[in-house]
Structure 1
Amino acid sequence: MVNSDNLNLLLKVNGTQHTLQIDPRVTLLDALREKIGLTGTKKGCDRGQCGACTVLVDGRRINSCLTLAVMYQETEITTIEELAKGDELHPMQAAFIKHDGFQCGYCTPGQIMSAVGLLAEGCPSDDAEIKECMSGNICRCSAYPGIVAAIQEVRQMQPNL
């Protein structure tokens, strides 16, 4: 049954245009997971407190559970699925593995997306500032030392960030 209140929506996600017919109240997170099938972005608290749903919109970090999909028709949305190029991991993904920046893995996609975003945003380079810039992403397993080490490694590899 088609709801007459649904909107036709065009979202550009990971470089691909997706035409959706959705209720205007659908969050970006639910559109990504349930309508497009990109389940790498996790639903954690559904209140913007944990960061598991972090994606990049035009290169900036956002909590996709707190925003409506209809707000992002003319933007470039990047999810964790876009970072690796085939079998080649993004440098941040490789650094997270190298530095054990994850344990259970549930928060890892949001942590990685936030880390990529904070480097692009120009977060200061000392460990305390990185922790502050990442404070919107919670790791219940406490892999924080590995996360900070991974971010520092990628910053060193790409000094223009």
Structure 2
Amino acid sequence: MWRSLKLLLIISSLIKISITMTHYQKLLRVSTNGKSFHNITAKIESIVAESGVETGLCTLFLRHTSASLVIQENADPDVLVDLANYMAKLVPESGKYIHDAEGADDMPAHIRTALTHTSENIPINRGHLVLGTWQGIYVWEHRQHSHVRELVVHISQ
């Protein structure tokens, strides 16, 4: 009897939680100028404010396989330069790749994306992203030419 009642209380709690969940979703388009980092922190903060969510989670998902999402230093631009230089040495465009239908930079871009991320989760507290003092959110374009990258921003409370 006690186990049944305890299970019923747990199920009731879960049902109540699922009914009160709030979700907000928006598609953000980011224009890139070829290989570079694009700080999107302010745009994401704006979407969080627009959502009205005070406490929750912001999930970002980049809908591409040749660009990445990174949370990285936003104070000293040399950090991003060093990161890009290191990645260029790690995954050179001059490599012997079989997949080259879209150009010499295509397969290296796919490898760079595989080594990084296309999604990030950031907590929200008091209506703001919970980021460290020096953290910024970047779309990292791995291709030589400009692209319009689509980023799904999903906010849940």
TM bucket, shorter chain: under 0.3
**Length-normalised TM-score, structure 2:** 0.25
Instruction: Report the structure number with the largest CA radius of gyration.
Output: 2
**Which structure's residues are more often helix, by fraction?**
1
Higher relative contact order (CA 8 A, sep 6+): 2
**Length-normalised TM-score, structure 1:** 0.24
**Which structure's residues are more often strand, by fraction?**
2
